[in-house]
Amino acid sequence: MLIRHLPIFFLNVIQGGPGGSGTEALSANKLLIAQVIGPEYDIVGFDPRGTGHTLPLARCFSVEEWTNWAPNEVLSFDRRQDVALYLARSEVVARKCLEALGGVGEDKGKGPGYFLDTGSVANDMVEIMNALGQKKMSYLGVSWVRSQSRFSLLTTCVCSYGTALAQHLVAMHPDKTDLVLIDSVLDGDAWRDGKAIETYQNTDEIIDAFYTLCARAGPSICPMSEKTKVLTKARVERIIGGLDLEPLVIMPHVDDAFVLTTSSFQAVVLRQLYNPSTSFPWLAQKLLDVERRNVSALFEFGAKDRTGGQVDQAYQSITCSDFPDMRNTTFAQAVAWTKAAERTANRFVDDFVARDQLMCVPWKMRPKNRFIGNFKPAKWEGKMLILSNIFDPVTPLAHAKSVQKRIGDGTASLLIQNGMGHLALGKPGSCVEEVAATFFRTRALPVNGHICQPTELPFVGKVDHGIVP
C-alpha cells in the first residue's frame, strides 16, 4: 500500500474513553476530520488493544452475564454501605477480567490483560507507521460522544483519552512524531497518577450556565425558565430531588420496566454537559416531563440497553492499567474519595466522580509496559496545538494549561474557546477550526492563550460573545 503523505493517526473515543473504537469514530466523523486536516494527509484510524474490532477484546462477561449484571450498578455513594458495595462489585469485575485476560497454564501472568496500558498502544502506533513505510506521524487526539448516549446510567468519565495517548506518544517516541493536535485535554501526569476526581472541577459552572441561559431565554424557549436564575435553579432542584420521595415507574413494555430516581436521573444530567448547545434544550424538556409525571414521554429511559451497548470492560481494563496500583487503598481512603468528589463536582453529578478511582482498587493485573518516564520529551522537533473550552465537564482548562507549560512555548500553544462543553472542535467555520486547519497546513501555532469566541450558546442561539464576559 503506497502512502503519499504523512499519515495522521486519529484516535476517537466513543461512549467514554478509553475503550472506544477509533475506526468507527473515523468513519462517523470523516467529513469533519477531513475539513480540519485538509487534503495534504492520508488519515489512518485504528482500534487500541482490547477495543473495537481488535482480538482479543477486553471482555470479561458474556453478553447474558453483563445484561443481568449492569442494571444493578451502585448509583449513589450517600452511605458508607454504598461505597462498600461498589468496591465489592468492582472486585467481581477484577476477578472476572483476571480469569478472562490474565492467561492460563504456562501463559498465566502473560495474558493480554497485562498489555492494555497506553504505553503499549503508543508502541503499536509506531509499528503501524513502520508497516506503512513512514518515518514520522502526525496525530489528532480528541473524544466525541454519541448523541444517543443520553440515557446511560453507568456513566463514567468520558475523558479525552486520545489526548493522554498523544502525550505518551510524544514522550516515548519524539523522533517519530511531528504535528499533534489535542482537544479537551486530560493531563498525562494526572491520568497516570489516578487523579480522576479533579477532572470534574468545572461541572458547577456548566450547570450554573444552564440556569442563567434558561432564565434569560424565557419559557417559550426553555420550559424550565423562571423570572430569575435563582428561581430557575430552585425549580430544577425541586424536580430532581423530588424523585427520591416519588420515583417514577417507567414501563414501556411488560418486560422493560425501570424506576427513575434522583440518582439515576443524575447520570442523565452528567451526559448533557458534554454538548450543551444541543443537550440543554433536550434536558429542559425532560425535566418538564418529570415535573408533569408524563411517563409516556420518558419511555426512552426505560429501554433495556441503558449501558449504551457496551458489553466489554475495555474502559476499566485500560484505565486501571494506566493508574497506579491501588490495591492497598483502605476503606477509609475510599470513603474520603467520595467526600472529595462532593467538594469538587456539582451535587447533581458528584455520585459518579469517584468511580474511576474506586473501580481500580481491586484490579489484579499490573501492566508490563506502563510508562513511568517524564511526559516532557527530552528533544522534540514537532509542534502541539492544544484546544480547550473555558468550562469542560471532564477535562478542565487547568489540565490543558499544564500540558502546554510542560511542552513549552514555541513548541506548544493553547487555544481557548470561550464556551462550555466537551470538545472545542465541531463547529464548521468557527475560529477554532480555522486555527486548527491552518496549523495542519502551515505548521503555524497561534499566540499561546488566544481566546476564540463561540458561534452559539444554548437557548440563545447565534452569538458573537462567549460564556465568560
Instruction: Tell me what the pLDDT averaged over the chain comes to.
Output: 86
User: What is the pairing mode between strands 7-12 and 137-142?
Assistant: parallel
State yes or no: pLDDT of 156 exceeds 60.
no
Name the residue type at position 370.
R
Pairing between β-strand 450-452 and β-strand 456-457 as defined by DSSP bridges = unpaired
Name every residue whose Cβ is closer than 8 Å to that of residue 73 and which is 6 or more positions away in sequence.
89, 153, 154
For the chain, the domains span: 7-55+113-200+369-462
Q: Which residue has the higher pLDDT, 207 or 301?
A: 207
CATH match of 7-55+113-200+369-462 with 3.40.50.1820: yes
Segment 353-393, tens digit of pLDDT:
888 899 999 999 999 999 999 999 989 999 999 999 999 99
Residue 11 has what pLDDT?
53
pLDDT value of position 7: 64
Q: Is residue 13 predicted with pLDDT exceeding 70?
A: no
Round to whole Å and give the CA distance between 81 and 94: 20
Residue 14's pLDDT band (cuts 50, 70, 90): very low
pLDDT in the model for residue 308: 37
- Residue 248 to residues 45, 259, 439, Cα–Cα distance (Å): 43, 6, 51
Model confidence band, residue 149 (pLDDT cutoffs 50, 70, 90): very low
pLDDT at residue 31, rounded to an integer: 78
pLDDT of residue 212: 96
| pLDDT for res 40 | 76
Q: Which of 57-66, 157-166, 176-185, 190-199 has the lowest mean pLDDT?
A: 157-166
β-strands 248-253, 412-420 pairing: unpaired
pLDDT at 12: 47
> What's the residue count for the chain?
469
Contact between 443 and 455 under an 8 Å Cβ cutoff? The reply is no
Which class for 63: exposed (0-12), middle (13-18), buried (19 or more C-beta within 10 A)? Answer: exposed
> Parallel, antiparallel, or unpaired for β 383-391 and 412-420?
parallel
Closest listed residue to residue 348, CA positions, set 157, 131, 203, 142? 203
- Cα distances (Å, whole numbers) of residue 12 to 142, 166, 168, 372: 6, 12, 16, 24
Mean pLDDT for 170-185 is 93
Q: What are the pLDDT digits (tens) for 388-441? A: 999 999 999 999 999 999 999 999 999 999 999 998 988 766 899 999 999 988
Show the cell assigned to 275: 454538548
Task: Please say if the pLDDT value at position 141 is more than 90.
Answer: no
